[in-house]
Chain A
Amino acid sequence: MTIQEAGAALRAKKVSALELTDESLKRIAHAQPKLNAFITVIEDSARARAVAMDAELSRGVDRGPLHGIPIAHKDLVMTRGIRTTAGSKLFSDFVPGEDAVVAAKLNDAGAVLVGKTNLHELAYGITSNNPHFGAVRNPWDTERIPGGSSGGSGAAVAADLVFMATGTDTGGSIRIPSSFCGTVGLKPTYEGVSRRGVIPLSLTMDHVGPMTRTVRDAAISYNAMAVHPSGFVPRADTEVRGFRVGLPRNFYFDALDVEVAAAVRAAVQTAAAIGARVVDVDVPDIDAINTVGRILLLVEAVSNLRPHLDRRGDFGADVLALMDQGRMVSAIDYADAQRLRRIYIREFSKLWSQVDCIFIPSTPTPAPKIGETTMQIGGVTGDVRLATTRLMRGINVLGIPALALPCGFSKSGLPIGLQILAAPRQEDKLLKIGAAMEDAMGFAGRTATVK
């Protein structure tokens, strides 16, 4: 069931918010031992909130499409009176006194919070193999990672435990789990959704956005979360005739798993079949932009964690290594990286005169196995973290919006992700082409069965 369908059922009195919430809690209880998608589940307050939302609807108070809909927050999003750990020992007892802005907005929109999702420690990694709260498992194959850092959110949405979960994305952390879990993830334009009250990783590259099972549900959720919502939700018969879809000739189709390359190329053909005009484009040096992104992230993350540098034993090995790397980068290099960033943003923005959006793969492979640190792509062995963020990181440097959605499944049944990019503040355009593609491809809303 989608948010739109649940909303219709609620208003037709075919189901109550309490029934939706009870079902969500039942599914979480069943799936938690297998997926470990949640750090905290708040049964009693979720039920109380659902009862209150039902009472409002019966009085004629309707807060909109998220009214009475069970959701989850990544446990990086501060929630008043509810423990917010960031997946870290540093914050294991932290109970915020206030909601993050995004949590308050979703609360105002009538959503029913059922819990906080597990994540990569401090949102600083892509596996969600958390040393303090346990590994999150991919619902399509529990031997595999869900991606990260918003891995619990991806797993929870893919397994149909909640209708929507919040994610954050500093170098792919919404889009990677969306790719590996077969969900839809929207990384908005930088500062399109407030970061206030979200425990920071990078001061200039953190983004907050929704993870859902359909593009239209992402649109509904984004409207409730955004700083400047347009209210746009793609219609059932969304038309994209004449839409200019950019297809990069360089970088983005190098070093891909064969099945991923085929699925994304098939998606491009689908776009053409529904009337879009495919335009070949040459993108700027994405390797260079990724390198700049690594410098920025290393320094900004360690700047945030500076008060905790004497607690080395409280960090997992991978996060500690990244913190140590960040401490080794000079201030001059950081400043020069920010100079380069400005140059690259200007170069990349020239593409928007040629195309409305750009189609690229989300991740170069389907989900790797838990514990794997290297992976084979096209006969070449690479580091899992660097390979998985290769098609992602630069987008955070540029600050442009990106939509990840499923575009196929591998022979072994793992989701494959398409990523669509657009110019800053063109989320509506992204959602429009995304919805049209979702309708045409037919992979929307598939859920993983947790055995």
Chain B
Amino acid sequence: MTDWKKIGAGLEPPIPEGDVDKIVGTLEGLEKSFRPLLRSIPPGADLWTGPEEAE
């Protein structure tokens, strides 16, 4: 479980705890959608680097 409040407090400037509470649900939903996608990245996959890739 990600400790969002700890991350928010460690940023400069920090994110107030009350504001972190407002976004925790969204962040957890995003993590839930994103984490499984990482399994589909093959070893050595390159980053997208620009429009020449959009061909």
Contact = CB atoms under 8 A, between A and B. Distances in A.
A312 B15 CA distance: 9
A424 B51 contact: yes
A341 B50 CA distance: 11
Given A291-B37, A328-B27, A343-B40, A338 B48 contact: yes
Contacts of A399: 51, 54
B9 to A, nearest CB: 12
B41 A345 contact: no
Contacts of A336: 38, 41
A330 to B, nearest CB: 9
A63 interface: no
A53 B54 CA distance: 39
A287 B51 CA distance: 22
B20 to A, nearest CB: 7
B33 A291 contact: yes
A19 interface: no
A344 B11 CA distance: 32
B55 A349 contact: yes
Instruction: Give the interface centre of B13, B41, B49, B54 by most chain A CB atoms within 10 Å.
Output: B54
B30 interface: yes
Interface string A302-315: 00000001101000
A321 B19 contact: yes
Interface of B: 4, 7-8, 11, 13, 15, 19-20, 22-23, 26-27, 30, 33-34, 37-38, 40-41, 45-49, 51, 53-55
Contacts of A327: 8, 11, 15
A324 B51 CA distance: 29
Interchain residue pairs A-B with the least CB separation, the first 6: A399-B54, A341-B48, A342-B48, A291-B33, A338-B47, A424-B54
Interface of A: 189-191, 204, 287-288, 291-292, 294-295, 309-310, 312, 320-321, 324-325, 327-328, 333, 335-343, 345, 349, 398-400, 424
A343 B42 CA distance: 9
28 contacts: A190-B54, A191-B51, A291-B33, A295-B30, A295-B34, A309-B13, A321-B26, A324-B15, A324-B19, A325-B27, A327-B8, A328-B7, A328-B15, A328-B23, A335-B47, A336-B41, A338-B47, A340-B37, A340-B40, A342-B46, A342-B48, A342-B49, A342-B53, A343-B40, A345-B54, A349-B55, A424-B51, A424-B55
B8 A324 contact: yes
Given A328-B4, A342-B45, A424-B51, A292 B37 contact: yes
B47 A291 contact: no
Nearest to B16: A312
A291 B51 contact: no
A400 B40 contact: no
Which of A189, A309, A324, A333 has the most C-beta atoms of chain B within 10 angstroms of its own C-beta?
A324
Contacts of A190: 51, 54
Given A324-B15, A325-B23, A189 B45 contact: no
A349 to B, nearest CB: 7
Contact of A400 (B37, B45, B54): B54
Contact of A339 (B34, B46, B54): B46
Contacts of B41: 336, 339-340, 343
A324 B19 CA distance: 8
A398 B34 contact: no
Given A309-B13, A324-B19, 9 more contacts: A189-B51, A189-B54, A190-B54, A321-B23, A328-B7, A333-B34, A340-B38, A340-B41, A343-B40
Nearest to B26: A325
A321 B8 contact: no
Contacts of A345: 48, 53-54
Contacts of B23: 321, 324-325, 328
A191 B48 CA distance: 15
B47 A339 contact: yes
B48 A339 contact: yes
A112 to B, nearest CB: 32
A338 B47 CA distance: 5
Contacts of B55: 349, 424
Contacts of A339: 41, 45-48
A291 B20 contact: no
A70 B35 CA distance: 49
Contact of B54 (A292, A320, A340, A398): A398
